[in-house]
Amino acid sequence: MTKASIIGASGYSGLELLRILSRHSHVTLEKLFANTSAGKQVDEVFPVLKTRVSGAFEPYSAEATCTSDVVFVALPSGEAMNIVPELLNRGKKVIDLSGDFRLRDAAQYEQFYKHPHHATTLLSKSVYGLPEWNREQIKTATLLANPGCYPTSAILPLAPLLKEGIIESKGITISSLSGVSGAGRSSSADLSFIEVNESVKAYKVGVHQHTPEMKQLLEAISSREVSFTFVPHLLPITRGIYTSIYAPLAKPVDAETILQTYRSYYAQEPFVRFSSTSIPEIKNVANTNFIDIGFRVDPENNQLIILSAIDNLIKGAAGQAVQNMNIMFGFDETEGLL
Q: How many CB atoms lie within 10 A of CB 335?
A: 18
Residue type, 148: G
How do strand 228-234 and strand 201-202 relate by DSSP bridges? antiparallel
* Cα 200 to the center of its chain, rounded Å: 22
The single residue of 7, 149, 159, 226 carrying the catalytic annotation is 149
For the four alpha carbons of 107, 209, 269 and 157, in that order, the dihedral sign comes to negative
- Alpha-helical (H) ranges within the chain are 12-21, 42-45, 84-89, 106-113, 131-139, 149-163, 193-196, 210-222, 255-266, 319-328
Phi, psi of 231 (to 5 degrees): -130, 110
* Cα 147 to the center of its chain, rounded Å: 4
The maximal CA–CA distance of the chain, rounded, in angstroms, is 62
Spatial CA neighbour of 136 closest among 333, 328, 334: 328
Give me the sheet containing 70-73, strands edge to edge.
27-33, 2-7, 70-73, 93-96, 143-145, 127-128
Q: CA gyration radius for the chain?
A: 20
66 classed as catalytic: no
Q: Are 264 and 245 in contact (CB under 8 A)?
A: no
DSSP character at residue 171: S
Buried b (16+ CB within 10 A) or exposed e, 240-273: bbbbebbbebbeebeeeebeebbeebbeebbbbb
Which residues are designated catalytic? 149
